[in-house]
Chains A and B, each alone.
Chain A
Amino acid sequence: MGCTEVNDRYGDGKVIEACSLFGMMNLKGNRFSSEKPIIAMANMHERGNGLGGGFAVYGLYPDHKDDHALHIMYTSRDAKRDTDDFIDERFEVQEDEEVPTREANVRDPPIVWRYFVQPRKSRLDGRPTDDYVMENVMQINARTGKAFVFSSGKDMGVFKGVGFPEDIAEHFCLDEYRGYMWTCHGRFPTNTPGWWGGAHPFSILDWTVIHNGEISSYGINRRYLEMYGYKCTMQTDTEVLAYAFDLLIRRHGLSIETASLILAPPFWSEIDEEAPSRRSVLTALRQTYGSLLMNGPFTIIVAHYGEMIGLTDRIKLRPLSAGVKGDLFYLSSEEAPIHLVAPHIERVWRPKGGEPVVGRVGERVVQELLVREVGT
């Protein structure tokens, strides 16, 4: 059984869902515990329906900084044996163990294993390491249908499953981990039964995406990405977003700001008002990448090494609030959880539709292209 059958059981063509999002990062790169993110997610309990919750943690494995950390879920022991052999062939495994769990209010938890690996040099063949890891992750996902890679980046990991976010945190003992950046997701799918692999964050290499929305342009976004060799096996909007970021940033070398202008571009009426040089850039971006415009309601929090980005669709049909207190930068579906975990916060604002909010480690200033402050 491939990902498609599990995730899109009724063949709706795509997964339809709504969600709660929360992201928190320390702009100096100092690590902190899961306590605040979990409190924030529990506060938005009503935005999920218990069919999915998950966390991405960066700065998670300082002792294995240079190894790719594979988090893999298995629904059968056979699949694990088979995948272990496959991993052994392709990678040097530095260390591996079962991800510790404890009793919690979750349904049918699978085995989740983590491996700290380096690509086998003999197999690399001069290819970029990222391409090699990505290709093998795709293969692991496709080979047995019973193994699914949660995450494969360095010094980061994804924990996710079927349950409310706070229960998933309890199950994976997240209180025992620390990281400088946490992104968290609670899910309200309407057309998919809970499947552990289908929860967010969705991850490829060290990129993670959490997403609230239903992308009306999914049909063409997918067909466009297929032209560039992506196989959209999961049939989720989130998968399409992750591949879009991979294509634009990793393969086409564009900046996160430029990628945002592609996914949520300004209106033509706004572009026409720009000075000639910027107008021609914005026009060329829409002309070339129009098929990647993400139309319909979405809010996403995208994260990778040292960077967290919040972005909504250009008419902001799904909510996003942002805040900064000291070195801490917050993104959230609702404003209340930010106030809950950061009382007396100095700045909270609601980013404008289609304008990315970017937090970078080492930069104390959170980049806001245009913000409308709504009081403190």
Chain B
Amino acid sequence: MRTQLESEYVVERNEDRCIRCKVCVNQCTYETHYYDPEDDRVCSRNENCVNCHRCVVFCPAQAITIVPNPTRYTSNDHWTQEAISDIKKQAESGGAMLTAMGCDKPYFTYWDRLLLNASQVTNPSIDPLREPMELRTYLGAKPDRLKANAEKGEPLLETDLSPQLRLETPILFSAISYGAVSFNVHEALARAARAAGTFFNTGEGGLDRRLYKYGDHAIVQVASGRFGVHPDYLNAGAAVEIKIGQGAKPGIGGHLPGEKVGPDISRTRMIPVGTDALSPAPQHDIYSIEDLRQLIYALKEATDYAKPVSVKIAAVHNVAAIASGIVRAGADIIAIDGKRGATGAAPKISRDNVGIPIEMALASVDQRLRDEGIRNKASIIVAGGIRSSADVVKAIALGADAVYIATAALVAMGCTVCQKCYTGKCPWGIATTDPWISRRINPDIATKRLVNLLQAWSSEIKETMGGMGINAIESLRGNRLHLRAVGLTDTELRILGIRMAGD
């Protein structure tokens, strides 16, 4: 069957600039570029190009430009280019549309409709260069009250707090499983988490033993496939996270194709080399909320009640009620992954259509837990498309204790969000386990880039807090008076619990 698909991108090469060095040929893992010795020219197969920009960045002569294919189907707002080419792909393959990273559709990003406050006259703004500005955050259950008695004016506590995670900035690296990404990427996340005083999440593929030394900065995940889950693993981490769902594909388990399962992955995930690692859609021991409670306490037993247990869910329609149940089931942390949460591989129908925006989910969960008087019993981490320090500040003001970032972390290392992670051929060496390609991530450099990102965002958060006249992050958390909205309906404002600009 002859394909009717056209190339999505066109590679333009400036012949005057090209020095025939063949860097692009060597860098492209999709074999887009090739050298023609007869003509002494470098040529391109446009149909292979995924617009990852690896060749653009590495071309020493700056000779390459990638443009979207200007040849379009007849303009039609309903039968869009994407709709027509998707149908053609499926007519040729007979399979579900596969994609990666987070939803790329123009649904509202509510962060962009929220504006922040600053102090003028009636209270002073605070200069973080001259005054302390505190971002330290503790994640875990907090008691309703402390019992204390004072002896010679010194308070003595009678209440013991349950275990807490201490973060020096309210940003953690979200779950990215070993296998979906290479060892070097995992190592860089681990080292950066330690250097920045925060945590990385192992994802559902276990933790390579070589990284156990970073366990005090790891949140170890337990997902439906139980890949790599054993007592040493649970006890290696600082916290345990039960993965119920993820924003990119709520209701679906993780899929790792057998091609990515080499010897190291096989050993860590405890599966044979070359087998597909398919996580079941549900956790088969959790068919109801009381089952979740049993798993939470099984993990607490296994870790001697020394580590907080987090439960991660995708933001879905009844998220507030589900979150309330999770808190009552004994979770110390609840992680909510929104509509724009990313993945290494997901059915396109799920990524682009299932779930709700994280802003709405967060606002309703935070308020519901307060209405029920249990907000203190669990910390909230939100995830899914956090792009900047401004998004972080807005998330915390809406009610989050901290945020997870994954896409932003990968972008810091090199990712350009081309959405082809599922091919396993990531030219940036990130979403691959191919030993040759994955060497493209140098753990030293990647660590430095991650630490730089966290440092930059943290200083922007401090600057913004100072402008509001706030010098501790706990005074921003859930402080929705510091948010105003533009261009939202009354219903949206009600759910977000904020007011219009000028109101």
Contact = CB atoms under 8 A, between A and B. Distances in A.
Interface of A: 11, 13-14, 16-18, 190, 213-214, 216-220, 223-224, 226-228, 251-255, 257-258, 261, 267-269, 278, 280-281, 284-291, 293, 295-297, 314-315, 317, 367, 369
B124 interface: yes
Given A219-B479, A297-B124, A315-B131, A291 B155 contact: no
B230 to A, nearest CB: 31
Contacts, number: 128
B478 A288 contact: no
Contact of A268 (B119, B126, B136, B145): B136
Contacts of B480: 219, 223
Given A18-B122, A284-B146, A284-B161, A261 B479 contact: no
Interface of B: 119, 122-124, 126, 131-132, 134, 136, 138, 142-143, 145-148, 150, 153-157, 159, 161, 164, 370, 373, 375-376, 468-472, 474-482, 499, 503
Contacts of A317: 123-124
A219 B376 contact: no
A297 B469 contact: yes
B478 A291 contact: yes
A263 B503 CA distance: 29
Contact of B470 (A216, A226, A267, A286): A216
28 contacts: A13-B481, A17-B122, A18-B122, A190-B122, A213-B123, A214-B469, A216-B469, A216-B470, A218-B479, A220-B474, A220-B476, A227-B376, A228-B373, A268-B136, A281-B155, A284-B159, A287-B138, A287-B142, A288-B145, A288-B146, A288-B376, A289-B146, A290-B474, A293-B472, A296-B469, A297-B123, A314-B471, A315-B131
A11 B164 contact: no
A85 to B, nearest CB: 34
Contacts of B136: 268
B477 A290 contact: yes
Contact of A295 (B142, B148, B150, B469): B469
A236 B426 CA distance: 56
B146 A295 contact: no
Given A295-B470, A295-B471, A219 B481 contact: yes
Closest 3 CB pairs of A and B: A290-B474, A219-B481, A217-B475
B474 A291 contact: yes
A216 B155 contact: no
B134 A267 contact: yes
Nearest to B373: A227
Given A218-B479, A224-B478, A287-B138, 19 more contacts: A217-B476, A217-B479, A219-B478, A219-B482, A226-B370, A227-B370, A252-B147, A254-B148, A255-B150, A255-B155, A267-B132, A288-B161, A290-B472, A291-B477, A293-B474, A295-B475, A297-B123, A315-B131, A315-B471
A214 B503 CA distance: 19
A268 B133 CA distance: 10
